Amino acid sequence: MTCRMVYLTGPSSTSLAVVLGIILVATSVRAQQASPQPTDAKSLQDLSKDTKNPFLDSIKLPIQYTSGFAIGSQHRVGANLNIEPLVPFSLNADWNLIARPNLNISYESGPQHQFGLQDLQSSFFLTPSKGQTWIWGVGPVFQVPSATSKALGSGRWSAGPTAALVYEQGPWFAGILTYQLMSFAGDRGRGSINQTYIEPQVSYNFTSGSYIQCDPAMTYDWTADENDAWDIPMGIDVGQAFQLEEHALSFQVGGYDYLKYPDGTPQWIVRAQLTVLFSR
């Protein structure tokens, strides 16, 4: 697959610029307000778990590249770049607000190949600031029709509830994140959105910073036929957390086979993710 430069214009590029600007401003503000604490005070095992924690009181930047294979009857190849930063805000001594914008840039080969930005999605979680073994968060999720082409987006404004629960004890890290997304405005000729998202995660983190995990992202489309409703991958990721000056990082690779998948979507994927954890 060859790479080419693509210039995104219009509302989608504006949304991208706004979100990246918010992330940069929040990073700068927290850096000025909080006195830095060296992350090397933590073990590599703890850093490994921190890079997975959706409620961490530090700015986190995961960047994931996914290649999908055997798409459709012609077994085409696709790719997706996902950027989902985590930006925490302290409301008071007891509560934090976690903002998680979600950007996806996709490419699909074929005669009618597509490349561009998908609809922008953002989640917000209200979570206790003093959680230990069990940590939870609840809030809303929003999706705006900001895709660069009709094929890459829904054309609908959507919203719904989201929640997550995390367990952390010893070398184990486990959690589940879910949301229900439903359309309420936009181009009614495009059809409605009624989708359930479920993402369980289980990982074992070694003292060396290495880890192995299962992190499948499952969806159920209530508007689709029964045979095309479920999207269920299953596989594993392996990774390593390490320290780079004042920042903690982790890198992982994995492969997932789809036990159930809608027509025209990948039958299996490989993915790689780099996560940067900025010091407090």
| Domains of the chain (ranges, CATH numbers) | 11-277 (2.40.160.40)
Write out pLDDT tens, residues 188-225: 888 899 999 999 999 999 999 999 999 999 999 999 99
| Residue 223: strand, helix, or coil | coil
Q: Please name the residues in contact with 50: beta carbons below 8 A apart, sequence gap of 6 or more.
A: 42, 56, 58, 248, 277
State pTM to two decimals.
0.81
Identify whether the C-beta of residue 155 lies closer than 8 Å to the C-beta of residue 164: no
Q: Please name the residues in contact with 183: beta carbons below 8 A apart, sequence gap of 6 or more.
A: 154, 156, 157, 158, 192, 193, 194
| pLDDT grade for 72, boundaries at 50, 70 and 90 | confident
Average pLDDT on 165-178 reads: 95
Position with higher pLDDT, 20 vs 118: 118
Instruction: Read off the tokens for 51.
Output: 């890079």
| pLDDT grade for 75, boundaries at 50, 70 and 90 | confident
174-180 LR contacts (CB < 8 Å, sep 24+): 174/200, 174/201, 174/202, 174/203, 175/52, 175/54, 175/200, 175/201, 176/200, 176/201, 177/54, 177/201, 179/123, 179/141
